[in-house]
Structure 1
């Protein structure tokens, strides 16, 4: 593709911030991304979310592609590049362990999110809090056939994360604790946003020297390592700081617009 470069955008804490009730990109953010595209840059989402949890407000930005599920899924111009899922035998072992320890879970797939009970109060609360579409969730599935790239676990208590991590940290899984209560993520360690970004850059024949990224989380570290210009949003995770090229403000204070202006991309 004959483009000037490529810009990757995280979702939560970058394009939106549902913890502050900002569920849609601001008008200024939308205008900045439209100007970026007019100026000849490819725009790609890079999120821990699966495609099934990307809201209409994000889709309406009209980005060129998606890296989802922390790098386990990638597509560009509606062409799926890869969709890596957790092996079902390994998955079953893990899920039975979660159930034995009374840990509620959500299996994130690109088409649907899978739960044991759609009416579970913890599940319903998380769906509502994150402003997700209830229709993207189903409890009609089997452990033998389900396709998932990442698991959201809602712990019984503060020890749940430690129990699961200790048992499975040597079995190809990686873990990330969230700031949201006793919720944590489980995924295959190999797949990170950096993995997705590197493969997409190679596919598009774009040098990392012409690649930019905006993010705020711990799971953005590998993405920042894979490109030259990593811009940390206001309120960023402390471990992201050493990997950032520069810093901008938070969602509420138009960090995307200000960051793109400072980079002279718009």
Structure 2
């Protein structure tokens, strides 16, 4: 097989959301793909600071973060784009006005409000990040917090439409269900960064294979030539899915890559 470029989501694709581990078979599959000359990239919505160490230790060529705004190749930054600081400050003010709570994600840290959120899931995220040493240095209300991504939480108290009408000048909004929304820098996505990587290596779109499971992988599936959805996946991916792999815990990555002839 000619050289291909493989792009992998993290949560629910490489990292099991059941066992919270990466199957050894997936690690071996990545190693073998690189031995065969393929390029292997993580393509995640997480910003660089929140990519866990176990992911950074994987045998990959690079990591693409923040839904298309940042790219590392062999530990060297080859692309980055950021939300304008003035726009970021205005977004924080509007979120407060509209009673929208959020996790604000930057390249070097994540930021929370100083007050306890009425959303339990946001507080759970705060505890998770704190355990990883993130989100403890500065509160978003203090200003000067450089962020490029928002994970927003809404309910009946939120003026959701007003907030999102304002936000669309700066960010694109991905509905993640349960009144939560992933908001990313406008004009960038998991698909645009694939396009950038292919051009960087002078390879055609037909050489791209994408592996994912959730709705925020949609842009990746829409751009990639070969879409591989995990056994448990959001049905929004189905129109762009070429092959449905077994679940992560059932050696889904290994099985899919063998099926596609990417490894022996």
**Smaller-chain TM-score bracket:** 0.7 to 0.9
- Deviations along 1:40-85, one digit per CA (max 9) or x if unpaired, are 2111000111111111111121311111111111111112122211
The answer on whether the counterparts of 1:44 and 1:63 sit within 8 Å (CA) in structure 2 is yes
Q: Does 1:136 align with 2:127?
A: no
Task: Give 1:7 shift.
Answer: 0.7
Q: 2:172 aligns to what?
A: 174
* Distance (Å, rounded) in 1 between the aligned partners of 2:49 and 2:95: 23
Task: Give 1:191 shift.
Answer: 0.7
The answer on whether the counterparts of 1:152 and 1:185 sit within 8 Å (CA) in structure 2 is yes
Q: 2:164 aligns to what?
A: 165
Report which stretch shifted further, 98-107 or 63-72: 98-107
Q: 1:65 aligns to what?
A: 62
Q: 2:11 aligns to what?
A: 12
Q: Does 1:199 align with 2:200?
A: no
Q: 1:153 aligns to what?
A: 152
Task: Give 1:117 shift.
Answer: 2.7
Task: Give 1:161 shift.
Answer: 4.5
Q: Given the two structures, how large is their TM-score scaled by the length of structure 2? A: 0.87
Q: Structure 1 runs of 4+ off > 6 angstroms?
A: none
* Distance (Å, rounded) in 1 between the aligned partners of 2:3 and 2:138: 45
Q: Does 1:92 align with 2:100?
A: no
- Deviations along 1:156-188, one digit per CA (max 9) or x if unpaired, are 54855444324433x142112224x44321122
The answer on whether the counterparts of 1:158 and 1:182 sit within 8 Å (CA) in structure 2 is no
* Distance (Å, rounded) in 1 between the aligned partners of 2:80 and 2:214: 23
The answer on whether the counterparts of 1:9 and 1:45 sit within 8 Å (CA) in structure 2 is yes
Task: Give 1:235 shift.
Answer: 2.1
Count of residues in correspondence between the two structures = 259
* Distance (Å, rounded) in 2 between the aligned partners of 1:131 and 1:148: 15
SS in 1 for 2:59: coil
The answer on whether the counterparts of 1:53 and 1:132 sit within 8 Å (CA) in structure 2 is no
Which stretches in structure 1 are left out of the alignment for 5+ residues? none
Q: Does 1:254 align with 2:237?
A: no
* Distance (Å, rounded) in 2 between the aligned partners of 1:161 and 1:11: 29
Match runs of 1:238-249 below 5 Å: 238-249=235-246
Match of 2:216 among 206, 215, 219: 219
